[in-house]
């Protein structure tokens, strides 16, 4: 049985024109993020300027790991990151660190 966890996060009203993703880019990126370690996913939000409360971050990370591309939290990352380049840089960094 799946339980619904209420997590408080308000959508940013800031329009970021540099966060325009093609469907292919979004699908590829959203398939890479759930493969990161739990601590890396949590850090990724903060590295790109998205802050959840400390009480909620574990549930956010678990949602991404459990639901992968069906997780709404991946959309928050791709829609509200401080920049497309920064988000991609951090994902690449974490992936390369995991290969060491």
The answer to the question of residue 7 being in a domain is no
Question: How far is it, in rounded angstroms, from Cα 61 to Cα 41?
Answer: 6
Neighbours of 35 (CB within 10 A): 14
The 10s digit of each residue's pLDDT in 67-82 is 999 998 999 999 999 9
The answer to the question of residue 23 being in a domain is no
Question: How far is it, in rounded angstroms, from Cα 95 to Cα 17?
Answer: 26
Q: How many domains does the chain have?
A: 1
Query: Domain span at residue 72?
Result: 38-99
pTM over 0.85: no
The answer to the question of residue 11 being in a domain is no
Residue with tokens 């994902």: 91
On the CB side of 88, how many CA atoms lie within 13 Å of its CA? 10
The answer to the question of residue 26 being in a domain is no
The answer to the question of residue 18 being in a domain is no
The 10s digit of each residue's pLDDT in 2-48 is 445 444 444 444 445 567 899 999 999 999 999 999 999 999 999 99
């Amino acid at each position: 049985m799946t339980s619904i966890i209420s997590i408080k996060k308000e959508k940013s009203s800031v329009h970021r024109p540099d966060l325009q993703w093609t469907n292919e880019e979004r699908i590829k990126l959203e398939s890479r993020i759930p493969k990161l370690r739990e601590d890396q996913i949590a850090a990724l939000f903060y590295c790109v300027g998205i802050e959840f409360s400390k009480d909620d971050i574990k549930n956010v990370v678990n949602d991404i790991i459990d639901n992968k591309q069906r997780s709404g939290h991946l959309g928050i990352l791709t829609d509200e990151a401080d920049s497309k380049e920064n988000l991609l840089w951090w994902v690449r960094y974490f992936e390369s660190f995991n290969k060491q």
